[in-house]
A = this chain, B = another copy of it.
Amino acid sequence: VKANDMKIDEIVGGVIQGDRSLLARAITLIESNAPHHFERAQEMLNNLLPHAGKSIRIGITGVPGAGKSTFIEAFGQMLCEKGHRVAVLAVDPSSTMTGGSILGDKTRMENLVKHPNAFVRPSPSGGTLGGVHRKTRETIALCEAAGYDVILIETVGVGQSEVIVRGMVDFFMLLVLTGAGDELQGMKKGIMELADAIVVNKADGDNLSRALKTKSEYNQILHFLQPATKGWETEAYTCSSLQGDGIEDMWNVIGKFVTETTKSGGFQTRRKTQAREWLNSSIADQLHQHFLQNQAVKDILPQIMEDVMEEKRTVSSAVELLFAKYTGRGF
């Protein structure tokens, strides 16, 4: 029986009981781009929302090669062994173009995927980044309703993906390699200022002393930046996903973060702000699409855009003209 054919309350009940196979099918329903699945998915979600929200949402980013998968494997296993239930999701902008996925290859986390407390799901593929965004946020809610209390969301640093992930997590971690100076020059603008922790990975063997040096270089730079979370000092740490060193320490750092921001109220405030901003940006996206699909707008927009770009027409008069067409009247 496909989730698409099942009764909503059966799926809802199964997810709440932590049935992994029903959870997977529920996610598939959310990921469906078929319009007739949308109503079912939303009904299911609105029934599951009262059971969601009770997790720590952690974002993890870093350039390719920074060791995100091995870190998540080590970090996730450590949490599972402590009795936590860990869901691993991904936001992968490249999947919107190629249909492929950074987490498609589950063998990258072969030990973690076998653990009964872990649930690993590749990035939804196809569609727009906005679609991936929505599906990931709704998948978080499903996983929480299914009892996962730690949600790890991996992303590669492409396009706006870090900003999107920062907007859906409580704690955001940037994984880096040794050689801060060199790496920083290739690093995207503003990304360090999104992070609650910078983790210098692969701090083992011959690389250890360089990793410690890199950590202190990052700490020097962080000193000059405003922290991502008010009242929390972003610091650099080292870890070895291979040896396990520093992995549990990162969990303690996150625990301290949650305790302090819950006490100050910042934790709940951020979640509310994130929800509000997501609604506002979704409304803006929908308005934009509605506008671009208008035939009268379609007919004149290319020429108007050209005129504005050549500074032959003012933006004000362009907007006026477009809106007169859009609304079918002057305004």
Chain A interface residues toward B at CB < 8 A = 38, 41-42, 45-46, 49-50, 52-53, 134, 137-138, 141, 181, 184-185, 187-190, 193, 221, 223-226, 271-272, 275-276, 278-279, 282-284, 286-288, 290-291, 304-305, 308-320, 322-323, 327
Contact = CB atoms under 8 A, between A and B. Distances in A.
A189 B41 CA distance: 39
B224 A181 contact: yes
Given A181-B224, A305-B276, A312 B282 contact: no
Give the one of A38, A272, A279 with max B CB within 10 A.
A279
A38 to B, nearest CB: 8
B134 A286 contact: no
The secondary-structure label for the interface of chain A is helix
Given A134-B315, A291-B287, A224 B185 contact: yes
A319 B284 contact: no
B323 A286 contact: yes
A141 B314 contact: yes
B45 A314 contact: yes
Given A42-B314, A284-B284, A309 B276 contact: yes
10 contacts: A134-B315, A138-B314, A189-B190, A275-B308, A276-B305, A283-B288, A283-B322, A286-B323, A287-B287, A290-B323
Contact of A193 (B189, B275, B290, B320): B189
Given A138-B316, A184-B224, A291-B287, A311 B53 contact: yes
A279 B189 contact: no
Given A190-B189, A272-B309, A287-B284, A279 B319 contact: yes
